[in-house]
Structure 1
Amino acid sequence: MHIEEWLQAIPPGWLCALVALVIGLESLGIPLPGEIVLVSAALLSAKGVVSPVWVGVCASAGAIIGDSIGYMIGRKGGKPLFERLGRRFPKHFGPKHIAKGEHYFHRFGVWAVFVGRFIALLRILAGPLAGALRMPYWKFLVANVLGGIVWACGTTAALFYLGQAADRWLKGFSWVGLAVAVLFGIGTTWFLKRRAASALDEGDLEGVVRGPVDV
């Protein structure tokens, strides 16, 4: 079952709570698909399954609280915490990931917390890493609150209006337009296959690879 279908089967109140929980756990350092859950919930709000306001509020709360808990964990555990996590979960907390996260913090300072909300790697590391690097909590809190609200509410609003626009467009899409789109897709596929076959016959593998980029 697709995640959107699974979420649609959950009552609206529990759905919002789940959004907050998953995003909160991801923000404190547990690698979970927080952004996927938020996107799916926002698209469901465009279908009237759940209120977009509550999706944005719960996602913001989860992001802010989760990052704050992650900050406290990182401040208490320090860098040795990441060394232990790196040995157990090298895919998410390996030395390269931590080094890249520290680079962002040393280069951008408190902005790394704000911008990190929009970057998959930093969304997991931002809170714990800010604590381990002893960033002043008040600076972290301001960036955390602003980043969480902008990311959660902005994503929800954008996908809500985009989903509604797409729904109206599909309802007004005529069968003639659909037929034209299908024929265009078939024609494009046939042309690309002929071009690839011709290039292979001539031994021009580079042309096959470069072709779509040139277009």
Structure 2
Amino acid sequence: MFSSLSFAGDIYDKFPEQIKANEKYVFYSHGFIVEGTNPTPKNERWGVYEFPAIKKSLADSQYNLIAYHRPKGTDPFVHAKSLANDVRKLLKKGVEANHITIMGFSRGAFITSLTSHYLEKTPVNTVLLAGCGRIVSNKYSDIKMNGAFLSIYETTDGAVTCEKLKNRSPQLTSFDEISITTGEEHGAFYRPIHEWVVPVKQWVIEKSS
């Protein structure tokens, strides 16, 4: 669904044509498997990635949700720079930095961490879901986060704590981390289960208030 008007609670798959400075905005970046044309692809181990249902569950009357469906072969660095520019557009329209949240899962979390890094000292809110695996923690050790930061990870997954990322990010204003244990490994974030959706929405609303 693409909405041409900006009312809190809307879901956008493109950057909104109209921005209201007094409203709040959340960007959600999906995992790698969704890149392409299918919004509900299936992984043999973790099942169906329910992108439409995730967007619906993350939507809230307190903010507008922007969730792009990335094409196959998307360069994460290029997309992160584009996402950072979208955040800057909101800021130029008068939206306060703490009224903007960037959020992502897996590859989307990597893109989100890059976006926070590119925004440098801009204190937007950032949520990483299963975001601190090998790539974020070690291979790209120059990535630093800014503003308020929430990490949620599944204890049976390979991507766990974001402590390393937190420790090398001096511009953070706060850090919260939640572990969940569903036994579903990476697939815990393939569906909008309450274990992660509820705390994410509570945190976003609290930090943007």
**TM-score surpassing 0.5?**
no
Identify the structure with the greater helix proportion.
1
With the length of structure 2 as denominator, give the TM-score of the two structures: 0.25
Rg larger in structure? 1
With the length of structure 1 as denominator, give the TM-score of the two structures: 0.25
- Which structure ranks higher in relative contact order (CA pairs < 8 Å, sequence separation ≥ 6)? 1
